[in-house]
Amino acid sequence: MEGAGSVAENLVLGLDAGSTHVAAALAEAPEGGEPRVIGVGLVPSAGVYRGLISDLSAAARAMRKAAEAACAMAGRPQVNRAVISISGAHLRSEVGAAAVAVPRPAAGVTPELVRRVLDAAAEAVEPSAGRERVHVIPRSYQLDGSVPLRDPMGLCGRTLAAEVQVVTGDALHVQNHLRAASQAGFEVADYLVAVRAAGEAVLTPEEREEGVLLLDIGGGTTGVAVYELGHLFHLAVLPVGGDHITHDLATVLRIPVETAERLKRERGWAAPRLAGDGTVTLPTPSGLNTYEVSEKYVAEIIGSRVEEILQMAAAAVKRSGYAGLFPAGLVLTGGGSRLRGLAGYAGDCLSLKSRIGTPADSLAAEPELAAAAGLALWGVRAAPAAAEGGEPSEPATDAAEARPARAGRLRDWLKALFH
């Protein structure tokens, strides 16, 4: 049960309108082959603030520009059917559960019975006024109170129970994303929460099966997703991302936002202990002179926000009730994951092996393209299921020197949340 229907063609455009960039990916499913990305486009964002549409016309223009770039790279005419991303901290994730009797226990569980129990579990979560269901995702099944099952089809039993992850969002914010895409000239075939789309592109089947934590760090938000037994166990969107780091640098160092963004990308580190002993030359507020700060001080500013993101992500996992240990570790993606040293530092804080996740297709092998690639691949995989009436398978200052003790406490706190 997904957002807005399915894609009926083998050429699909994925559109991810983020706060920093608007990304597009064009995917196709060759006859008898695996879906692949054949074109990408990445343009500066406009009309999007913290994952929400703030200027309809500007967002529509950016979407169209990114799509044109992707189609031009692929050498294909403009594709007007798209799968788009939904983001923003308005998104919420709840668990619905239900059980139904198996009419003929010895005959086994049928597709119709699975649909019935999933519908009943979804109905157990009633969105509050002004909200709507964005995703209903099967989480686990049980037969007669047995261990959690990934797929109950054909198994014998008397009672089939199911848990589903119900993601809801503010209906007006969802509508604004759809209207922006429509104004850009696209027919929206489907939509996915951005972090779920990123997971489609960067996670391996083995990681999803074993248990993995995915952080999709965008400009204005960070998506958190927990996978286990091949299913999405929990999803959350945090109201903080890479742009907050940039604005922290601009505010503390009293430099233009553009200078702060360049400083973050070229000289920034995720934690003070990772930075070198060098200095950075910056303009004074008047722009008439320059002054120097240590790289460690820059990392001190960045590290404070990184700590906040990790703390919020860990708390979101804790609230989800997930009791696993993430055997497959931590995967970071999105433009914010490019911050130097972030993967190793985050993994150290959480006592998890970690890596940067990028789409497997060489054309889209950049973390900021993860969600767009996942959207396009989702649409291509959905096409056969749609035709059959089904669904797709699823730093050198005193403050800096004092940081190690605080960082140690942070690691202890985060580890306590998970263990």
CATH at residue 112: 3.30.1490.110
pTM: 0.88
> Considering just the CA atoms, what is the radius of gyration of the chain in Å?
22
Q: What percent of the chain has pLDDT over 90?
A: 80
Quick check: is 105 in a domain? yes
Q: Which residues pair with 159 in a beta bridge?
A: 101
Classify residue 321 by its DSSP letter.
T
Tens digit of each residue's pLDDT (9 = 90 or more) over 372-412: 999 999 999 886 555 444 444 443 333 333 334 444 444 45
Q: Determine the Cα–Cα distance for residues 8 and 14; give it in Å rounded to an integer.
A: 14
Would you say residue 134 lies in a domain?
yes
96 within a domain of the structure (yes/no): yes
397, burial (CB in 10 Å: exposed 0-12, middle 13-18, buried 19+)? middle
Q: What is the pLDDT of residue 396?
A: 31
pLDDT at 45: 96
Is 307 a member of any domain? Answer: no
What pLDDT is attached to residue 126?
Answer: 93
| pLDDT mean over 349-369 | 95
Q: Determine, yes or no, domain membership for 308.
A: no
Distance between CA atoms of 196 and 373, rounded to whole angstroms?
Answer: 11
User: In a 3-state reduction of DSSP, which class is residue 381?
Assistant: helix
Residues in the chain, overall count: 419
Average pLDDT score over the chain: 89
Q: What is the reported pLDDT for 329?
A: 97
Tell me what the mean pLDDT of segment 150-171 comes to. 95
Residue 153 has pLDDT above 50, yes or no: yes
Please state the rounded mean pLDDT for residues 137-150: 91
Per DSSP, the three-state class of 92 is strand
pLDDT tens digits for range 242-258: 999 999 999 999 999 99
Contact 394, 68 (CB under 8 A): no
CA–CA separation, 122 vs 315, rounded Å? Answer: 25
pLDDT computed for residue 402 by the predictor? 35
16, 48, 338, 355 from 21: Cα distances, Å: 8, 9, 14, 22
Domain-embedded: residue 125: yes
Note down the domain range covering 103: 92-170
How many domains would you assign to the chain? 1
Task: Give me the DSSP letters along 209-230.
Answer: HH-EEEEEE-SS-EEEEEEETT
The pLDDT confidence band at residue 30, using thresholds 50, 70 and 90, is: confident
For residue 121, is pLDDT > 50?
yes
Span 291-310, mean pLDDT?
A: 97
* pLDDT grade for 279, boundaries at 50, 70 and 90: very high
pLDDT at 345 over 90: yes
**C-alpha to C-alpha distances, 180 to 34, 168, 356, nearest whole angstrom:** 31, 20, 30
What is the rounded average pLDDT of the residues 18-29?
95
Q: Which of 88, 310, 116 shows the shortest CA–CA distance to 219?
A: 88
